[in-house]
Amino acid sequence: MPVECVFTVGVGRGASFVYETTQQDHIGTSLYWGGISAYESETFPTFIDLARNARGFLDIGACTGLYTLVASSVNPKLTTYAFEPVPQLYERLRRQVALNGLESRCRTIGKAVSDREGWETLFVPKSVYPDTSHLANVGPHDSRAVSRLEVEVTTVPRALPAEQAVDLIKIDVEGAEGSVIAGMRDLLARERPTLIVEFLPWGSGDWAQAVLDELGYRYFHLTDQGPVEVESATPHSLSPHRNYLCAPSGDTNVPLLPERLSRASR
């Protein structure tokens, strides 16, 4: 049942954040009735473990800011950069950050992320919370269900201060993960962050994995039973929306994974 209110969400060890939801916000509805475990339950246990020890977090495709809020609530020393190009979602993101008093350590950026700077066409579903918006060069397109919006694009290195440490990155960009990852290849090589990426059957996942393979990353499918190591992050056609943890081989972040870590081949 949809709700419209401001409420508190607990994330364990005494940490919590407040979230403002409307009747059209399906993320807020899930959180209100089921808590943090009701939304992407396969991802948050691992994400929270990693966020607790991170110095810098990039939330690329932040939507209304849930991952930014969770990470900031479990780690009061964390610096976050949250990117969201859809105007109505960006305003909700800024509102959530302000409600939690996080403006001093959470920078919100109303741009799409790519491998270059400039402007691109974004396909935006005709809904109050168009969280499946995608750039015109990736993803399926139904002209009857979306509108076109010209949005500014930037690269991760361009948006960050040169001295900013980055340990954790979440990417949910509806098929544009290839250009996002290619655009920050040097940062990945230098900082060796852990990534959580939604790979879709369409889009540029192969491009993204080619860059990560070259940099020596390992892949873990995030499941309700825990992270399972796989040979690649290619989504299954019967379950297209899947989050994968991408960890560089030998990186000190790997031991931070939950003890339930298991290994499998695909």
pLDDT digits (tens, 9 = 90+) for 179-200: 999 999 999 999 999 999 999 8
DSSP structure class, residue 128: S
Report how far residue 33's alpha carbon sits from residue 122's, in angstroms, rounded to the nearest whole number. 32
Alpha helical stretches, state H, 100-227: 156-159, 177-182, 185-191, 205-214
Phi–psi pair at 42, nearest 5 degrees: -75, -15
Phi–psi pair at 181, nearest 5 degrees: -70, -40
Q: Is the pTM of this model over 0.75?
A: yes
Write the pLDDT tens digit of every residue in 90-127. 999 999 999 999 999 999 999 999 999 999 999 998 88
Report how far residue 24's alpha carbon sits from residue 167's, in angstroms, rounded to the nearest whole number. 33
CB atoms closer than 10 angstroms to residue 12:
13
Q: Which residues contact 17 (CB under 8 A, 6 or more apart)?
A: 8, 9, 11, 69, 70, 72, 73, 100
Structure-token pair, residue 161: 């201060």
Write the pLDDT tens digit of every residue in 122-155. 999 888 778 888 887 776 655 556 789 999 999 9
Q: Could you tell me whether strands 262-263 and 226-230 are parallel, antiparallel, or unpaired per DSSP bridges?
A: parallel
Distance from the first to the final alpha carbon of the chain: 38
CB atoms closer than 10 angstroms to residue 226:
17
